[in-house]
Amino acid sequence: MADESQVDAGGCSIDRSVTFLKGLQAAYGVDLFDRMRFSYLDSEGGVQTVDRPTFAALYANGTINDETPVFDTLVATKADFDQSFVKPLAKSWHKRMV
């Protein structure tokens, strides 16, 4: 995240953040750059991440529903992040994927 009122995000800072994320991928064995992975909170408050077909199947069988909290990875500003990074599936772009 960059405060662009102070300084623009440049190539070096973007490269550094990508390197950091790739390190997290390696450490945790996850793919943080796959845009067709969906993360949500399960009924016990745990974070689950699944591929698109699994996400749709979970919705179809009732494991998740319109009230399930999902993580909106498309937020663009800190204010959006603070206010709506986690939101009900029905109020997110995820809804069109199920």
pLDDT in tens, 20-67: 888 988 998 877 777 788 999 999 999 999 999 999 999 999 999 999
3 vs 57: CA distance, rounded Å: 39
Q: In the chain, how many domains are there?
A: 1
4 falls within a domain: no
2 falls within a domain: no
72 falls within a domain: yes
pLDDT at res. 7: 67
Residue 5's pLDDT band (boundaries 50, 70, 90)?
A: confident
39 vs 17: CA distance, rounded Å: 21
pLDDT at res. 3: 67
Instruction: From 43, 61, 49, select the one nearest 94 (Cα to Cα).
Output: 49
pLDDT at res. 1: 63
93 falls within a domain: yes
13 falls within a domain: no
47 falls within a domain: yes
20 vs 27: CA distance, rounded Å: 11
44 falls within a domain: yes
67 falls within a domain: yes
| Domain that includes residue 65, residue range | 36-97
Side chain identity at residue 79, one-letter code: A
